[in-house]
């Protein structure tokens, strides 16, 4: 994961080179977040702050709560054993983890779709999408 300056046409900073299938890079108020999907975790800067038992992708931040998508881990085969063998348990569930990072507790809301890709916050009062992703329209 790196920063690239469009004006200078060059890399300005390398954040993390030890990621496995990174997904949903998000700049929060207190750091850079990303799903380190194949490790089943979310990182803030270079530190793992959340781990689950499935492929993480899709994330939103709301104050001290993270909403983290979990997809069904499809590559559980002998051919791909090297990718998952270091995990003690691999979940076959999909859903959204609601993670309170202050109290370090979470719950999972199951989803019928096995592949959540992106999470967006919708503000019904203002009738608009509120997202921590810079590429998301308001």
At 131, the pLDDT band (50, 70, 90 cuts) reads low
CB 67 within 8 A of CB 96: yes
Residue 80 lies in a domain: yes
Per-residue pLDDT of 13-26, as tens digits, reads 887 778 888 888 88
* Domain extent for 46: 2-130
What is the structure's pLDDT at 63? Answer: 86
- Among 110-114, 122-126, 129-133, which stretch is predicted with the lowest mean pLDDT? 129-133
Instruction: Tell me the pLDDT band of 76, cut-offs 50, 70 and 90.
Output: low
Decide if 75 is inside a domain: yes
Residues 6+ apart with CB under 8 A from 65: 98, 99, 100, 101
- Give 75's Cβ-side CA count (13 Å radius): 12
- Mean pLDDT in residue range 56-67: 91
39 within a domain of the structure (yes/no): yes
Mean pLDDT value across residues 57-72: 91
| 136 falls within a domain | no
Q: Provide the domain count of the chain.
A: 1
């Amino acid at each position: 994961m790196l920063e690239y300056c469009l004006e200078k046409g060059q890399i300005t900073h390398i954040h993390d080179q030890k990621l496995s299938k990174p997904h949903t890079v998000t700049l929060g108020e207190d750091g850079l977040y990303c799903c380190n999907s194949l490790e089943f975790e979310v990182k803030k800067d270079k530190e793992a702050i959340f781990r689950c038992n499935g492929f993480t992708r899709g994330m939103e931040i709301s104050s001290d709560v993270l909403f983290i998508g979990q997809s069904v881990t499809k590559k559980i085969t002998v051919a791909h054993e090297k990718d998952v063998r270091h995990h003690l348990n691999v979940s076959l569930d999909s859903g959204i983890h609601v993670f309170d990072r202050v109290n370090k507790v979470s719950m999972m809301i199951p989803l019928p779709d096995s592949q959540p890709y992106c999470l967006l916050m919708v503000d019904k009062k203002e009738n608009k999408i509120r997202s921590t992703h810079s590429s998301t329209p308001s």
